[in-house]
Chains A and B, each alone.
Chain A
Amino acid sequence: MPTKADQIIEQVRASRVWRSVFRSGTGNSTLHRALAIQQNIFLHLFATKVRKRMVRFSATWYLGTLTLGTFLILVITGVLLMLYYHPSVPQAYADMKDLQFVVSSGLFLRNLHRWSAQLMVFLVFAHMFKVFYRGAYRTPREFNWVIGIVLLLITLLLSYTGYLLPWDQLAYWAITVGSNLSSAVPLIGSKIHFLLLGGNQVNANALLRFYVLHCVILPLAAILFIAIHFWRIRKDGGLYVQQSDPKAQAAAENEPAAKEAK
């Protein structure tokens, strides 16, 4: 017996506007559900069907999804923080203090950004340990492991470039030390150091370059590689689930891959 709410939802789903946006139709059949995933620009990265055991908490501990969650929090809070932060030497530190003590909810947003950043680095490592010790990096998922390494580097670079932006003593010396590490690259080390800082010392150019890297270049790179990472999960036969029985493991590994080959 459909309730009143169900009827309203069905009416909305059958309306012309809704049908123009979501073209999979009003039905609830398996086909309709599959089409709803396949025809959505965001969801089509994922498999149209997943096995129940793949989405169990014990399969992945949801570490990858949680990492994406922290990334989304960081994008939202980061964009909001950008509205008050000027990446200039006289203002950067004062803006950071304003966010803490003057701007409404500024302290909350800044702390949320900071703690989510710490959590994201932790979750990326936890996710990678899980993948490594479960053996989920093996054929046919080797390339997605490589994409994961790229995402780890982007995460660490985001963390590092964000560290300079408060423009306090801790930030200044951490970036002085960190950027000097790049000077150790053979032959072109000092050139890399010069390009990274836009000068010979951590100064106005370095602050601006790190700001652009932190707010534009690295997030765009991260979004691109996250999209490839998710798409590859589908292409490589779905989420990896470890079976305690080796025979079941072999069967589970062949089965989704064979499905995908069609």
Chain B
Amino acid sequence: MSDHALNTRQAPPAEFDRRAFFTKIGLGSLGIAAAGTIVFSYEYLSPNVLYEPSPIVNIGKPQDFALNSVTMDVNAAIYLVRADEGYFALSMVCTHLGCLTAWNQDLGIIKCPCHGSEFTRTGQKIEGPAPKPLPWLKTWVSDEGDLMVDRSTDIPPLQYLRI
């Protein structure tokens, strides 16, 4: 308790210490300014408007897709599958590290060229490092009768679109 012995020799704590007060004010304002700088830097570095393609894509008329077919749209990075139960859209982007997977017609599976992940037609993982199945994407029919896919909205698997 050497601190205690030291304190008894100092001036009574009730006395106003101007130097300590200004030091606190100064450090406090610096802290607020630093916090503000971090917030402003973060906001400046996050773009508010992105000139990226719209997540919603029109992929054509439903009848253009044959029954039990998997259609790859490389530009939109989606699979449009027409199964017996109905239509569904699957993201082509591998859940491992974001490579574009590809449909292998002969084996009837989806394979990723980067690290060897394999998926079934419904997106379930067969093997490889991918941690999650390929997500199902929100799909609907527009007023003009076109199939629409929203690539930014995942839906639970096995929700087929029946037309």
Contacts and interface: CB of A to CB of B under 8 A. Distances in A.
Interface of A: 173, 176-177, 179-181, 194-195, 198-201, 203-205
Interface of B: 42, 45-47, 50-52, 96-99, 114
Contact of A176 (B42, B51, B52, B99): B99
Majority secondary structure, A binding face: helix
A259 B42 CA distance: 48
B50 A176 contact: no
A176 B98 contact: yes
Given A176-B97, A180-B97, A180-B98, A200 B50 contact: yes
B46 A194 contact: yes
Given A173-B99, A181-B97, A204 B47 contact: no
A201 B46 contact: no
Contacts of A199: 47, 50, 52
A204 B51 contact: yes
Interface centre among B42, B45, B98, B99 (most CB of A within 10 A): B98
B132 to A, nearest CB: 12
A205 B51 CA distance: 9
8 contacts: A176-B97, A177-B97, A180-B97, A181-B97, A194-B46, A199-B47, A201-B52, A203-B51
Q: Which 6 A-B pairs have the closest CB atoms?
A: A177-B97, A180-B98, A180-B97, A176-B98, A199-B50, A195-B45
Contact of B47 (A173, A176, A181, A205): A205
A204 B47 CA distance: 12
Contacts of A204: 51
A173 B97 CA distance: 10
A205 B96 CA distance: 23
A181 B98 CA distance: 10
Nearest to B152: A200
Contacts of A176: 97-99
Contacts of B46: 194-195
A13 to B, nearest CB: 50
A191 to B, nearest CB: 8
A48 B96 CA distance: 54
A201 B45 CA distance: 15
A151 to B, nearest CB: 25
Contacts of B114: 173, 177
Nearest to A194: B46
Nearest to A177: B97
Nearest to B115: A177
A177 B45 CA distance: 22
Nearest to A193: B98
A175 to B, nearest CB: 10
Contacts of A200: 50, 52
A126 B121 CA distance: 47
A173 B45 CA distance: 23
